[in-house]
Structure 1
Amino acid sequence: MRLRNKPRAVGEIADNPQSITTIPADFKGKWQTKFAETQPLNVEIGSGKGRFIIEMAKAYPKQNFIGIELQPSVAIMILEKQLLEKLPNLYLIQANGENLTDYFATDEVANLYLNFSDPWPKKRHAKRRLTHKIFLAMYEQVLQPEGKVTFKTDNRGLFEFSLMSFNAYGAQFEQLSLDLHNSPEITDNIETEYEQRFSQMGHPIYLAKIQFAGAK
């Protein structure tokens, strides 16, 4: 999908450091200073237009949330919603989510969310998939010992790759669903924009929630 360029995006992002940053490495180990209260920190990599991260922040006011989005023209959509909502437990990053260990200290994150990540379907691009072992090692480093990664996709190929990747890495499966919207887990599921669209098209939504088994 081609993104429409929004010339104002870069300037508006720069004008609102109270809500968003483009230099997340500056806050490594200090993210709690960006919130009204010190609370468990949850991070979504690839927040799109922001429906999921905003609704999570509303649903769980006793937790803090960070949404990471690479594209300025998309990140500004979340920013503009947050400027209206003024949620005290939400902060945004406009940067590449692949560099997670540059942004977060060891054990700084309570939970990670990967929602409808780019499947990178070509075999030669497998290392770019956010469930590749390279990224799993980063997640394990920044997550607290009891932290979890929740992964959702409509792409069967990516889901199968991810299950094999999780298993080979030695992760523990906390929850699995081959059709989330027709399973008991739907009770507390907050949808993304992509999830709504794909579900309406009749695509099953796959979910895996994992925890890393190794002690730090």
Structure 2
Amino acid sequence: MPAGEHVIGLRLEGYEDAERPVTIAVGESRTVDVTLVARVETPAGPTEPGGPPTRLAVESQPAGAAVRVDGEPVGATPVPGAEVAPGEHVVRVEYGDRVWEDRVTTAEGTTTRLTVSLGGGVHQGWFWGIASTAVAAAAGAAGTGGYAWSLHDEYETASPSRQDEIRPTGELMLDVADALWGVAGAAAIGALVLFFFTDFGEEPSGTVAVPEPAAPAGFDATAARDPLPLGM
């Protein structure tokens, strides 16, 4: 090689790469000693074998929604704790045509709790139908009652023969108005009750709680909380 400054690099499988700077004069022959250090492979996976697993618990309203994590089904809500790898996951919760999907990050050795509200309840068509019935019945009752009162005013000044003609119609109109007011009242009460159970199209939403330490695999948290029986 030509005289001057050079960098000699050595590479051998299973060892760390090594480089040494060397300066060679004209006509000089040099010997360079290099000691290679064996490469230490770091095993993948948990640093603490047998440590607590990473879990994802999912609840939904309403319950019974299908849950998928990274496209794989893990059951229906409530899911007490599906074991997952630490890191970011795509979680999808479905209940009929109501779908919530987002990314959820889990921390190693903890249980991440996800609560999803999917809406649901009575279809809003029922609410609007009954509410419209209440309004229509009230309008009909008001109109019929108004007509009955106009006949009443005419009855007061009419001749006896005319009164005989007006009386049946007026009584019928009053009965119809009373019936329509009853329908309007019942429909209004029904609409008011349905208001609290109707799905008005609220978008599904999810809430992730602060991860909590997970129990080690095979650990029975219930048994740990219960006191040991004392023999006499």
Q: Please classify the TM superposition score into its range, dividing by the shorter chain length.
A: under 0.3
TM-score, structure 1 as length reference: 0.17
Q: TM-score when scaled to structure 2? A: 0.16
Name which one, 1 or 2, has greater alpha-carbon Rg.
2
